[in-house]
Structure 1
Amino acid sequence: MPRAYTYTEHGGPETEAFADLPRPVPGPGQLLVAVKAAGVNPVDWKRRAGYLPPGAPAPELPAVLGGEVAGVVEEVGDGVEGFGPGDAVFGNPLTGGYAEYTLLPVELTAHKPDAVSFADAATLPIAAATAYDGLYQLGLAPGDTLLIVGVGGGVGVAAAQIARNAGLRVIGTASAAKKDFVEELGVVHVEPGPDVAGRVRAAAPDGVDAIYDLVGGDALVAVAGLLDDPSKLITAADRDTVARLGGSPVARKRDREVLEAVARLVAQGVLRPYVTATFPLDEAAEALRAVEAGHARGKILIEVAG
C-alpha cells in the first residue's frame, strides 16, 4: 500500500509515524495525484500540535502531514473538468502531502507550467500564495516601504521578492546568520531583539507604510508602534496578538487564480522559491524538525518521487 507520514494524535514529534494507507479514491470534484514533491511549512507541525484555524474541523486521526504538493494526475472524480490523467499539477491536498498519493480539490489545483519544476511548484500553494494574498490585502503603491517581520522563511522570502517586483522598498527582520541571504533578496536587513524598532527607524527615517508579520508574539508587539494606521498591519502567524494591536490576519483567497498567478511569477523569473534543503520521504521527520526549529531559510522540501 502507498506510504505516508502521519501523526496519530495531537502533541509533539513523538506522535509522528509512517503508515501504509489505502490509495485514496477521488470523489466528485477531486483529483487523485501521484505526489512528486511536498512543501514543508510551520502550519504542518502546528496542526500536529493541535492548533487549528478558527472554524476548522478536527482532522480524523491518523492524519497525513503536509498542505502543499506537486505531482501528476492519476484519476479524476465525477464532475472534474479541465484536468485529466497525466496532467502535471500543484495545489493544496485534502489528504496530506507527505505521501505517495493524495487527493486535491479541483478548485485548489492548478496546472504546473512547463517552465516550473515540480520542486518549485510544491513550494507555492502555501508560502507563495500566502505572501501574494497578504501583499494584495495591503494594497501598497510603488515607492512605499514594507517591513516584513521574519523575512527569512518561506513566506517572507516570497513576499520580499513579489514586493520588490512591485516597486516597494522592503526592510526585513531576521537573525544575523541570515543577513547575507536577506540582502541577496534586495531587502534591508535588521536584526531582531531589544530596540528592534529603533533599528527599523534608522533604516527607514521616513517611516514604514505597512508591516507584514510572520513571527507574532513579542516580535510583532515590538514593531507595531511604527505604524500610524493599524489597518496596514497584517500577520500570518498570530491572530490573537494582531487583533489586540488593531491589525488583521492575512485574508487568504484560496483559489486557483492565486496559484496560477504565483506560478507565472516563477516562470517569468520574478519569484525564486529558494528551496534550500530537500529530504526524501523516508526523512520526513528530519524535514519537519528543520522547520519546527524555526531557523530554516527559504523553503524545505520533501521529494516523494523522482
Structure 2
Amino acid sequence: MRAAGFYSFGSPEMLELIEIETPQAGAGEVRIRVKAAGVQPVDCAVRNGFSPPGVTITFPHVTGGEFAGVIDQIGEGVTYFAVGAEVLGFRLQFTYAEYVVVPVNQIVAKPDTMPWEVAGGLSGAGQTAHTAMAELRVGKGDTVLINGAAGGVGTVAVQVARARGAAVIGTASEANQEYLRSLGAIPVIYGAGLIDRVRALAPNGVDAALDAAGEEGLRVAAELVKDKDRVGTIVAFQLTEELGVRWIRSNRSASRLAELVQLYSEGKLRIHIRNTYPLSQASAAHREVETGHGRGKVVLMIESITKS
C-alpha cells in the first residue's frame, strides 16, 4: 500500500510517498481503508526526531494519529462493526496510509452528516481539548481563559467549555477575533498588555485556563487563576514545575471520541478545516502546520489505489 513516510529525521521534505506492506486485521481488530488523516503538531515533532512514549521509531516510519475511513476487514471476535461501516478513530502512529489496523475499541461510527475531512481531523485535537476541559474541571458558571483559541485544540476547547456552561475568553490574532466570536468566545488579542485586557473582560476573575499557544499566555494564566491546579498547558511543558500548573496529556478513548461526535451531531461543535492536501503532499501539510498560525485543522485526503 501507499503511505507518506520518511527514512530519516529532518525537515518536511523528508516525507515522501513510499510502498509498504498492507496490514492485516488480527483478533479484536479492524482494518480501515483510510479516507482522511489529520495532521497534528506532534506528527511534525516525530518527523523531527521525537519518539512518543511507547513508540520505537524504525525507518521507514509513517506518522499520524487520527483518521477516518471505511472498514474493509474484520478480525476474529469483532461483532459490533461490519465491513463497509464508516468510522473515525485514533491510534499511536501509522495513519498517513491507505490502510490502518486498529483495535475495535479505538473507533466510533461516523455520522452521515460529518464530512470525511472533519471526521479525519476530529480525534487528535478534539480529545486533547476534551481531556483538558475535564481535568481542569470546567463547568457551569466558570470563566475560562483559552490561550491560542483559534487553533485546532483551542477551537474545540472553546466549544466544549461553552457546552459545559462556561464563559470563555479566547486569545488570538486580530484576524481571528470574529472567528472566536462565532464560536461563542469573548476574543482578546494576545501580546503586550494581555493580562490587563483579560482583567477588564473578567472583573470577577478567571476560574480556569488552558494554554495551547505558549509561554506568554501561560504566564498570564498562572497569574490570573488562583487555583493553579486549574491551569494547564499542552505546549509549554518546561514551565509547568516553575509555575505550578498542569501538563495536560490527551487521555484518548472511544467513549471520549463518541462524546465529541455527539456534540457535533447536536450542532454544539464545529470543526474548521484550514486546508486539505493529498497524501502525496504530506510535506506541504507539515510545512503549513509548522508555521504555528492559522485557525482550525489541516487534513490529508487519501484516495486508495492499492487493492486490499
Aligned to 2:118: 120
Q: Which residue of 1 aligns with 2:151?
A: 153
| 2:139 match: secondary structure | coil
Q: 1:252: which partner in 2?
A: 250
**DSSP 3-state at the match of 1:288:** helix
Q: Secondary structure at the match of 1:152?
A: coil
Map 1:226-265 to 2 at 5 A.
226-265=224-263
Deviation above 6 Å: which 4+ runs of structure 1?
none
- The answer on 1:99 being equivalent to 2:97 is yes
- What corresponds to 1:198 in structure 2? 196
Tell me the alpha carbon deviations over residues 62-81 of structure 1, each in whole angstroms, 9 at most, x when there is no partner: 21122110000111223333
Establish whether residue 7 from structure 1 lines up as the match of residue 6 from structure 2.
yes
In the aligned structure 1, how far is the partner of 2:139 from the partner of 2:294? 30
Count matched residues.
304
Instruction: Determine whether 1:131 maps to 2:129.
Output: yes
Map of 1:16 onto structure 2: 15
* Distance of 2:93 and 2:159 partners within structure 1: 30
Give, in whole Å, the separation in 2 of the partners of 1:214 and 1:31: 33
Aligned to 1:68: 66
2:282 is aligned to 284
Moved more, 184-193 or 263-272: 184-193
For residue 16 of structure 2, what is the amino acid of its counterpart? Answer: A
* CA-to-aligned-CA distance 1:243-289 (integer Å, 9 cap, x gap): 32111122533211011111111111110011132222222222221
1:143-184: CA deviations, max 9, x gaps? 210000111111110111121122211011111121221222
RMSD: 1.8
TM superposition score normalised by structure 1? 0.93
Amino acid at match of 1:33: I
Distance, in Å, in 1 between the alignment partners of 2:167 and 2:112 is 31
Contact 1:94 / 1:104 at 8 angstroms: preserved in 2?
Answer: no
- Percent identity of the aligned residues? 38
Question: How far apart in 2 are the matches of 1:144 and 1:88?
Answer: 37
Q: Deviations over 1:206-228 (max 9, x none)?
A: 11100111123343224321111
What's the TM-score, normalizing by structure 2? 0.92
SS state of the match for residue 224, structure 2? Answer: coil
Q: Which amino acid letter does the alignment assign opposite residue 99 of structure 2?
A: Y
In structure 2, the residue matched to 1:34 is 33
Q: Which 5+ residue runs of structure 2 have no aligned equivalent?
A: none
Paired residues of 2:16 and 2:282 also in contact (CA < 8 A): no
The 8 Å contact of residues 196 and 223 in structure 1, kept in 2 or not, is answered as no
Among 125, 138, 141, which residue is 2:139 paired with?
141
Which is further off, 226-235 or 188-197?
188-197
Cα displacement string for residues 58-117 of structure 1 (whole angstroms, at most 9, x for unaligned residues): 222221122110000111223333122111111113552221111222221112122323
